[in-house]
Amino acid sequence: MGAADETRDGVSLTNLDQPLFDGAGATKRDLVDYLDAVRDRILPGLRDRPLSVVRVRPGQDPFMQKNLPKYTPDWVRRTSVWAEASHRSISYALCDDRRTLLWFANQRAVEYHPTLGRAGHPEHPTQLVLDLDPPPGDSFGAAVAVALLVREALTEAGLAGAVKTSGAKGLHVIVPVADGTTAEDAAAATRALAARTERLDPALATTAFIVEDRGGRVFVDSTRAYGATVVAAYSPRIRPGTPVSYPVDWADLGAVRPADFTVRTVPALVAGRDPWVRALPEPQRLPADLVAEGRTIPVARVQAMHEGKRRAKARREAG
């Protein structure tokens, strides 16, 4: 091996001193060292869940990888999932251990996006996700304000959630749900919670899927359901400075910025503790009235598709 190479847990690690990506402020070695340092924190959120990763090769744009490449070692656990859109079976990795995590790091996999349900049980998600996407600009404070509205909506519904930075510009509110919760009920409850959040302050929060309809408000995205993924707690992101999706106590939301949590700062923050485990409430049963309300709300993505077609037709007729 060259001077920059080493082996950990039987995994050969190469080209460790290469820059990770433009603007990362980190090398491939920094990525490997970070994931190795936080493995006991990140692996529980990945274990037994079909995994998509975002990789970045030198001189190329980042890309999402779902299907494992043919050169994947035999010892990497995997599961097959039928993809209706492409009419084929996708071989997803199950990142259950240090060796697999190191192998992904050596493949320059920076972001880790597990599914909401476990392998073999996509119809039973273990959590709801409300993704809070603020408008362009320095608007993290607006995302914080809407996260507190989400918490209010949860409390009124008799539920509790935990919050983490997305690692980009927004926040994720995660609500663990009881075993046996169906994907349909989870999706409906998520739509209802988003709608209730919007009603609490429609000048600040919106469920409008079409960007031009948001009017500078924070988008409460309720579309992460069924086979969707969400970036894992402690996953790095391909953003300037290589930030990390990091758990934040509700009381501390107003005092942090996404840039506070990076591959360089997080290992010290989680030494001897796991803020995400501490923050997550126990799985909860969804209230029947919440699910019933959600079933009356159209799926935002589908509604936006139909509205887009209607607007396009109107423009053609007007022209």
Per the CB < 8 A criterion, the answer to whether 169 and 241 are in contact is no
Q: Is 31 helix (H, G, I), strand (E, B) or coil?
A: helix
98 shares a domain with 125: no
155 shares a domain with 78: no
pLDDT of residue 301: 61
261 shares a domain with 168: yes
110 shares a domain with 55: yes
Residue 87 has pLDDT above 90, yes or no: no
Per the CB < 8 A criterion, the answer to whether 225 and 183 are in contact is yes
Range of the domain at 295: 120-319
26 shares a domain with 83: yes
Per the CB < 8 A criterion, the answer to whether 167 and 256 are in contact is no
Residue 30 has pLDDT above 70, yes or no: yes
Residue 311 has pLDDT above 80, yes or no: no
294 shares a domain with 162: yes
| pLDDT tens digits, 5-27 | 899 999 999 999 999 999 999 99
101 shares a domain with 85: yes
pLDDT of residue 85: 76
Domain boundary residue among 54, 89, 114?
114
Q: Is 7 helix (H, G, I), strand (E, B) or coil?
A: strand
Per the CB < 8 A criterion, the answer to whether 217 and 24 are in contact is no
Lowest-confidence pick of 185-194, 225-234, 245-254, 301-310? 301-310
168 shares a domain with 260: yes
pLDDT of residue 214: 94
Strands, E, within 241-285: which ranges? 247-248
128 shares a domain with 104: no
Per the CB < 8 A criterion, the answer to whether 127 and 175 are in contact is yes
Question: How large a percentage of the chain has pLDDT more than 70?
Answer: 92
Question: Span 126-144, mean pLDDT?
Answer: 95
| Tokens describing residue 187 | 């999706």
Query: Phi first, then psi: what are they for 55, rounded to 5°?
Result: -105, 160
Amino acid code (one letter) for 241: G
Domain boundary residue among 93, 114, 135?
114
Residue 146 has pLDDT above 90, yes or no: yes
Residue 299 has pLDDT above 90, yes or no: no
Question: Span 233-253, mean pLDDT?
Answer: 98
pLDDT of residue 4: 45
| Structural domain total, the chain | 2
198 shares a domain with 94: no
- For residues 78 and 4, which has the higher predicted lDDT (pLDDT)? 78
Amino acid code (one letter) for 228: A
230 shares a domain with 205: yes
Residue 45 has pLDDT above 90, yes or no: yes
Instruction: Please list, residue by residue across 8-29, b when 16 or more beta carbons sit within 10 angstroms of its beta carbon and e when fewer do.
Output: eeebebeebeeebbeebebbbb
Question: Span 302-311, mean pLDDT?
Answer: 59
Which band of pLDDT confidence, cut at 50, 70 and 90, is reported for residue 176? very high
CB-based contacts of 94, cutoff 8 Å, min separation 6: 46, 47, 48, 49, 50, 51, 76, 77, 78, 79, 100, 119
Domain boundary residue among 114, 145, 175?
114
Domain of 138: which CATH number?
A: 3.90.920.10
pLDDT of residue 310: 60
- Predicted structure pTM score: 0.93
